[in-house]
Amino acid sequence: MKSAPRDRAPAFRVDLPADCADCSLVSDPAFHGENAREMYFHVRVPTDRAIVKNIRVDVAGVPIRAVIVEKNRIPFSTASGFVTFDLPVVPRARSSTVEVQTSLEWPGMALRIEHAFKDRRGGKYASGEFPAVQRAAALNLEFGLREAIRDLKLADEVEARGLGKMHLMGFDTNNPLSHEDYPPHIHLILRWPHFAGSQAPHFYINGKGRLLPDVIVTIDGMPHMATTHIGKGVWLPAIDYLGEDLYETLVTDDGGLTLRRPGAASCTLRPIEAGDRGFGSGARADCSSGAVYRIQASDDIERGEIRVGVNSQPVEVYRYDVDTATLLSAEPARPKPSAARKP
């Protein structure tokens, strides 16, 4: 991690130790490169090693403030333009080193919050107008859906019946590890206990912070499966691993989203304000229970702080490490949600 943003530094160089002849660098640009915020690389290491000592990086004169492996800060030294550290070896199928996402979890439900650092832009977000409105909209939609899920008691049922977990996700503007997370969208996934087979709908967000009518669904863990296109006005069922419909979603004509139990209770999300920011201004969830939830969420990437307001309840504050996105603290403890009633 660089001490200060630098875009035009000379290329860095990694020197692997001579006593690890089987070690090698991954050359794919998604696994080895540089942006204004960081230098990143991945090393293939024999799994019989517990540690690889004395990896040296010629950082081309750039001051370095931290070395991170996966989500851990590790000791390093600096001398003669080189950063030196010992690499702990923890075999894993997939790295998370350049994935900067904060996970918030409750029984039966999880939110993944991506943090849109402009100095980490990558993939199809590397140039052009930064999708600030879509990022704000995705955050409000995630927390708005959280309130709808709670009102409909869907997460409670998922937890009680062992159906897996409901995952709410936004989009990443960095392209971590070749994940072309484009164009801007959110996910509402019923993640099956064994992962593979889960339906992953992509709800796309336009430049005015509203959802587009066409939804694309992929199947997690089965890349050979063809994507499904759900057109305007068509309900999309979420099927659990037992083959039953748990809930269904519909993009409304005005770019909102309705979540309902099949043919029963429902909540509809719409922007909290009129105007060109759409859900970027906040979300309002009107539920058939009579409850109304007004949600406004923000993400301060300089301080590492997510703030969420729901109706008149105390503001929730989630603090995270700005380099790794690891959750550091959460306050206040979230009470069982209450809601204002329609007059």
From the list 251, 258, 210, 244, the residue with the least C-alpha distance to 229 is 251
Lowest-pLDDT range of 80-94, 100-114, 253-267? 80-94
- Please give the pLDDT value at position 333: 52
Retrieve residue 314's tokens: 């105390």
Task: List strand residue ranges (DSSP E) for 127-177, in order.
Answer: 165-169
In a domain, 2, yes or no: no
- For 96-107, what is the mean pLDDT? 93
In a domain, 59, yes or no: yes
Tally of domains in the chain: 2
Express each pLDDT in 157-214 by its tens digit.
999 999 999 999 999 999 988 888 999 999 999 999 998 999 999 999 999 999 999 9
- Please give the pLDDT value at position 340: 44
**How far is the C-alpha of 100 from the C-alpha of 78, rounded, in Å?**
25
In a domain, 105, yes or no: yes
How large a percentage of the chain has pLDDT more than 90?
A: 81
- For 224-239, what is the mean pLDDT? 94
In a domain, 95, yes or no: no
Mean pLDDT of the chain: 93
Query: Domain end: 88, 115, 134, which one?
Result: 88
**How far is the C-alpha of 183 from the C-alpha of 205, rounded, in Å?**
8
* Tally of CB atoms within 10 A around 100: 26
**pLDDT of 334 above 80:** no
Lowest-pLDDT range of 35-39, 320-324, 338-342? 338-342
- Give the structural domain span for 40: 13-88
Question: pLDDT-derived band of residue 293, with 50, 70 and 90 as boundaries?
Answer: very high
Q: Are residues 145 and 77 part of one domain?
A: no
In a domain, 308, yes or no: yes
**Count of CA atoms in the C-beta half-sphere (13 A) of 304:** 15
In a domain, 321, yes or no: yes
Q: Are residues 195 and 59 part of one domain?
A: no
Query: Domain end: 88, 114, 129, which one?
Result: 88
Q: Strands 39-40 and 77-79, how do they pair?
A: unpaired
Query: Domain end: 57, 88, 119, which one?
Result: 88
Instruction: Using the structure block, give the residue that is written with the tokens 């100095």.
Output: 119
Q: Are residues 62 and 37 part of one domain?
A: yes
- For 307-314, what is the mean pLDDT? 96
**How far is the C-alpha of 50 from the C-alpha of 55, rounded, in Å?**
14
**pLDDT of 338 above 60:** no
Q: Are residues 113 and 69 part of one domain?
A: no
**How far is the C-alpha of 170 from the C-alpha of 192, rounded, in Å?**
19
- Please give the pLDDT value at position 94: 77
Q: Which residue has the higher pLDDT, 92 or 49?
A: 49
Q: Are residues 277 and 186 part of one domain?
A: yes
Q: pTM for the complete prediction?
A: 0.92
- Cα angle 204-209-213, degrees, rounded to a multiple of 5: 40
Question: pLDDT-derived band of residue 339, with 50, 70 and 90 as boundaries?
Answer: very low
- For 244-267, what is the mean pLDDT? 96
Q: Are residues 233 and 297 part of one domain?
A: yes
Q: Are residues 182 and 69 part of one domain?
A: no
Q: Are residues 193 and 59 part of one domain?
A: no
Q: Are residues 188 and 118 part of one domain?
A: yes
Retrieve residue 194's tokens: 């064994």
Q: Is the dihedral of CA 51, 54, 60, 63 positive or negative?
A: positive
Q: Are residues 313 and 226 part of one domain?
A: yes
124 SS3 class = helix
